[in-house]
Structure 1
Amino acid sequence: MKTKKALAAVLGMTMLSGSFVVSAPAEVKAADKKLVFWDKSEYVAAYNEMMKAKLDEFAEANGVEVEYVIVPSGDIKQKLAAAIESGNQPDLIMGDNTLVAEYINSDQLAEVDDVLENIDFKENALRYATFNDKNYLVPLSFTAPGMYIRKDKWEEKGLDMPTTWEELKEDAEKINDPENGFYALGLPLGASGGGDAESFVRTVILDFGGRLVDENGKVVVNSPETLAAMEYIASLYEEGLCPPDATTWDDSANNSAWMAGTVGMVCNSGSIISSMEQENPDLLANTQIIQYPAVSADDTSYTLGGANVFGIFETGANTDVAKEFVSYYFSDTDYYNQMVEAMGAMWQPVVNGYDDTDFWNAEDHIGWLKNSENLVLTTYPAPTTGEAATSFTNQACVKAMQQIVVNGVDPQEALDSLEQS
């Protein structure tokens, strides 16, 4: 395995504060235009390598000097804060939609209607562009969660993969084996501040036909559909299909339970796939990613999750060049598709035309694609505002479910409390 310094030498990079800086080829050093792009490092090294290649191509074709900085995801907020304070912010960044959107309210990001109008984005991808009714973000990829199933446990009982929430529960009852330390469902319900539990509860509410708010942000949570969803979720814990301590789990606990082989289903990102590849290939061989269930075959199966997006800094020195590059990047749709597939299904395409391929029809990948088709923001169907985001991070739905499961509160009383929250 190459060291970072060796890899930097191969790719024409230098090290800066733990991140890679990629300079433009020497022949464009005297270019009239410049682009400073801060990108997050990805699990799959091919992504950053492919992005660098596209930047080099853009630099040569357009006479642009490019500074490409690869920053670990955990460091980017701190580094951006320092750069903004000193007036040295980049022209372009890439990160998850929640992180990049933080720079909208501080008037850092440019509106991007002129970029979006020339790209054939999927309809639900465009939801990730909008904040306060204006378009500030350019979607790069969906990062839909997957429903991980222990297919060996299902096969032992002669069960098909579940397609409805009721089928999932019925299957869980058959594979559940708490006496031997195995629980069918690894669903966190801890009010830890993370997003896994809140996303799960909101997903089931949406699938059952409930809504927390309408399209205008009006609270409409108190409905028979939401009540039915909450009663269903509560039953999974009350009937012992989830580990007893799941009501205290944070976002890492379901990962750990899956890797330990003590649960038969979790909902999570592709990070678990990477962990299994490195630590437990036998478990990976017994894992199947399926589409999230619906209430019935005729109903929509929603998935709550995020996307990677470009953010173009209005306060950067080269806003127009950043827009030129993003447009240039999406003009090569075959290259875009290759980059998405290089991520091994951890990313899903946000542009139309690349779903019906051998890659996405493969059993290992199709579940991720299906989950991206109805992927919605965690605040759906509310307008994307700071208030809606705060509602999610406060975990109002998880806290209402804890009233039922932990404190024995009547479900309708807990729903009334959720309405007030």
Structure 2
Amino acid sequence: MSEPKKVGRRTFLNYAIAVVATGVIVGAATYFAVPKEVTTVTAPGATVTTTKTVTTTVAGTPTPTPPTTPPGKPKLTAWYRMTFLEDFNVYLREKTLEWAQKRGVEVELSQLPFTEIYAKLTAAIDAGNPPDISLWAPLALAAEKPETRLLLPVDDVINEIGREDFYKPAIKVGSIEGKAYQLPLWCEPYLWHIRKDVLEKKGIQVKSPLSWKEAKDIAEKVNDPANDFYGLGITLGMNEDTTNQWNSLWWEFGGQYFTTKSASGVKIKSTATREAVEYLVDAYKRKLIPPDAIEWDAAGNNKCYIGGRGMMVMNPASIMYALNKENPDLFNKTLLVFPPVVFGGTNGFVVYKTCKYPDLAKDLLAYILKDKESYRKRLIEPSLGYCCPIYKSIAEELKKIPYWAPFANAVEFTHQSSYPIDEPCMALDEAGPKYIIVKMLQKILLEGQDIDAAIDWAHNEYVAIFRKHYGD
């Protein structure tokens, strides 16, 4: 057996599952085979076991190989974004297998970490060869321009499930010209994780929402770099969390990426941007932020908090999921508080025009989302706030649970990068993985570049991307 690997928060299992469903035959077996290397993750930073091939019985009696697919059997290809939560990944895999067996459909399912699915989907969309279904997509790149639109509307699926139970913002973020191109599955808000025990020891009161300015004041009171304890566990590394945390900070100062979808509408060069940059530069130079934060990957802030180095971090509640399993004591000492403007994605399924069996694809998605009881018990509740519901009925039930009360309806006040309009934007889809904001910050912090010069550079980068997609 190979040596165990250590993984970060978004470095997860990457495997392809070939599902062959043969209908209900007594004594028959249905398998999913894993032909590539498999990594099973239990929690951030945990050791993992690796094996080259795994064959697991889904139902029936084991046989040496999966049954042969009859000629002409319908087949769907699906790519799902993996999350940090293994409960989540297993649930979606099992629901997909369950549907495939009942419908007699072959499903080739790949579950991929965010960075990999982004690159793979973008390349597939550019080549005009996407899967039939994906969980997550660069939505605007795939659907904003009618002449190059690769997605099918899913309003019929939403109506079948019951549109009245969906939160309107959950549908809006995936809609273009009045049509929904994304079937929402969950909302993933960023919020403060704060050491409640340290607050009590220092006699500090925290109100909700907690502004970034107030957070910095608290950080100054508890900061102790000599003992490797830092007031702000904010990442500055080349990863998506740096951009996402920036959004929350920047929006509080009045920042936004654009006012109109055009090169002239880009608003990176602004007073708000300078104030947000100065906030981070000051905090970093005064060691309110750990010096190594500039080297962190997306798991860095998680490790900082879980390892006891940070007073507070801004992150989805994947940290709570990990603490509940690994460190219940720190779980109970953690206070969750929202900032004034909340960043977070509403993630969901899309169906591509190239799908040969669109009705089957939509039937699969309806099957997964219609089972609201399982959705609540197996996907939402175990996530401890990492996955917030897109259904009003489930949110109302969760509000009765004290832990869930603050964010059961987070989808109502969580915003995408295109805040304040919260609509798909091709330019932001392209800009995201380029980490322009992170590079701007690192030009200042690592290269010693003038703040205004770095902001000008970032502004011009966004202008070029917006011009490419929308013109001047």
Q: Do Structure 1 and Structure 2 share a fold, with TM-score over 0.5? A: yes
Structure 1, residues 41-69: CA drift from partner, whole Å, max 9, x if none? 66344764477458747975xxx324455
Structure 1, residues 124-170: CA drift from partner, whole Å, max 9, x if none? 22244246986432111112233221211112112223522222111
Structure 2: runs of 5+ lacking an equivalent:
1-18, 20-26, 39-54, 62-68, 462-472
Residue of structure 2 in register with 1:173 after alignment: 220
Residue of structure 2 in register with 1:399 after alignment: 439
Aligned residue identity for 2:431? S
How big is the shift at 1:187? 0.6
Q: Distance in 1 between matches of 2:427 and 2:217?
A: 38
- Pair 1:260–1:344, CA change in 2 (3 A): closer
1:150-229 equivalences under 5 Å are 150-162=195-207, 163-190=210-237, 192=238, 194-217=239-262, 218-229=265-276
| Secondary structure in 2 matching 1:356 | helix
Query: Which of 384, 387, 393 is 1:344 aligned to?
Result: 384
Q: Distance in 2 between matches of 1:306 and 1:244?
A: 29
- Pair 1:78–1:198, CA change in 2 (3 A): closer
Structure 1, residues 360-391: CA drift from partner, whole Å, max 9, x if none? 6423x345546543222234357534422232
- Pair 1:328–1:249, CA change in 2 (3 A): closer
- Pair 1:392–1:57, CA change in 2 (3 A): closer
| Secondary structure in 1 matching 2:284 | helix
Query: Which of 32, 35, 50 is 1:14 aligned to?
Result: 32
Q: Distance in 2 between matches of 1:189 and 1:360?
A: 37
* Bigger mean CA offset, 45-54 vs 243-252: 45-54
Aligned residue identity for 1:219? V
Residue of structure 2 in register with 1:269 after alignment: 316
Q: Distance in 2 between matches of 1:398 and 1:82?
A: 23
- Pair 1:420–1:263, CA change in 2 (3 A): same
How big is the shift at 1:203? 1.7
Partners of 1:212 and 1:220 within 8 A in 2: yes
Q: TM-score, with normalisation over the residues of structure 2?
A: 0.69
Structure 1: runs of 5+ lacking an equivalent:
1-7, 295-300
Query: Which of 114, 128, 134 is 2:156 aligned to?
Result: 114
Query: Which of 169, 180, 201 is 1:124 aligned to?
Result: 169
Q: Distance in 2 between matches of 1:369 and 1:350?
A: 9
| Secondary structure in 1 matching 2:163 | coil
Q: Distance in 2 between matches of 1:360 and 1:418?
A: 45
- Pair 1:259–1:384, CA change in 2 (3 A): same
- Pair 1:97–1:155, CA change in 2 (3 A): farther
Q: Distance in 2 between matches of 1:402 and 1:79?
A: 27
Partners of 2:185 and 2:369 within 8 A in 1: no
Residue of structure 1 in register with 2:396 after alignment: 356
| Secondary structure in 2 matching 1:187 | coil
Residue of structure 2 in register with 1:388 after alignment: 428
Aligned residue identity for 2:152? A
1:254 and 2:298 matched: no
Aligned residue identity for 2:385? A
How big is the shift at 1:178? 1.1
1:240 and 2:287 matched: yes
Q: Distance in 1 between matches of 2:259 and 2:247?
A: 14
Q: Distance in 1 between matches of 2:133 and 2:289?
A: 43
Q: Distance in 2 between matches of 1:23 and 1:317?
A: 26
* Bigger mean CA offset, 262-271 vs 198-207: 262-271
Q: Distance in 1 between matches of 2:443 and 2:123?
A: 42
Q: Distance in 2 between matches of 1:33 and 1:334?
A: 31
Query: Which of 133, 141, 144 is 1:92 aligned to?
Result: 133
1:322 and 2:361 matched: yes
- Pair 1:211–1:57, CA change in 2 (3 A): closer
Partners of 2:324 and 2:331 within 8 A in 1: yes
How big is the shift at 1:90? 5.7
Partners of 1:379 and 1:388 within 8 A in 2: yes
Residue of structure 2 in register with 1:3 after alignment: none
CA RMSD of aligned residues (A): 4.3
Q: Distance in 1 between matches of 2:258 and 2:122?
A: 33
| Secondary structure in 2 matching 1:357 | helix
1:56-95 equivalences under 5 Å are 56=98, 64-68=103-107, 71-74=110-113, 91-94=132-135
Aligned residue identity for 1:122? Y
- Pair 1:201–1:49, CA change in 2 (3 A): closer
Q: Distance in 1 between matches of 2:275 and 2:194?
A: 24
Residue of structure 1 in register with 2:50 after alignment: none
| Secondary structure in 2 matching 1:159 | coil
Q: Distance in 2 between matches of 1:142 and 1:414?
A: 33
Q: Distance in 1 between matches of 2:229 and 2:385?
A: 28
- Pair 1:356–1:225, CA change in 2 (3 A): same
Aligned residue identity for 2:163? I
How big is the shift at 1:175? 1.0
Aligned residue pair count: 397
Aligned residue identity for 1:265? M
How big is the shift at 1:310? 1.2
Partners of 1:188 and 1:246 within 8 A in 2: yes
How big is the shift at 1:348? 0.8
Structure 1, residues 98-142: CA drift from partner, whole Å, max 9, x if none? 4x7776698654232433455243232224424698643211111
Partners of 1:181 and 1:262 within 8 A in 2: yes
